[in-house]
Amino acid sequence: MREFNITTTVKEYAFEELPEADRSLVEAAKEATRTSYVPYSRFHVGAAILMADGSVVAGSNQENAAYPSGLCAERTAAFYASASHPGMAMKKIAIAAWTRLHAPEGLGHEEYFQASPISPCGACRQALLEYEAAHGTIEVILYGREKTYVFPSVASLLPFCFTDF
Ligand code: THU
């Protein structure tokens, strides 16, 4: 028997400390939340992907009355990125979310963003991982009003992932 640890190094930033390029990708993710279609959860998520050619592809969560048919912001963005730029590496993805549920009335729009970052679901991690395995590391930037986490790769968010494809 052998025991071992798996470690992930996460960088935590105050928004103002983030490098300028990352701040603008976060802004694109926040802007993308405006395109969410969320009549069921009222939880607005935006994702913005920096492509190898410097362009940014954004997506948002899209829900459906047949609930499991909806799609998270991260996969909407990643599939749109791959469909619009086939074979191109994705360098970074930024994710932001807000909701008015369980929040006081009358705040400014900015204040409805999550104080702590949300993290992509397992299915989104797996989908992103496949692009990472094919085209190189994708940095993951998770925005929160009070702190932003930067993960060095999708694989760092998904230990023991399935890569035998
Ligand atoms: N959602 C995302 O779009 N990304 C995440 O990382 C977590 C959850 C969506 C799915 C659903 O539309 C809503 O947020 C509430 O779960």
pLDDT of 162 above 90: no
CA distance 52 to 70: 28
- For residue 2, the CA-to-ligand 1 centroid distance in Å is 37
* Rounded distance between C-alpha atoms, residue 155 and residue 139, angstroms: 10
Task: Quote the CA–CA distance of 58 and 77 in Å, as a whole number.
Answer: 5
- The band of 161, judged by pLDDT with boundaries at 50, 70 and 90, is confident
> Rounded CA gap, 36 and 19, in Å?
27
Share of the chain above pLDDT 90, in %: 93
Question: What pLDDT digit, counting tens, does each position of 49-79 carry?
Answer: 999 999 999 999 999 999 999 999 999 999 9
Nearest CA to ligand 1 atom 13: 43
Between helix 73-84 and helix 122-135 the angle, nearest 10°, is 30
CA of 129 from ligand 1 middle (Å) equals 18
pLDDT bin (cut points 50, 70, 90) of residue 108 is confident
**Ligand 1 atom index nearest CA of 120:** 6
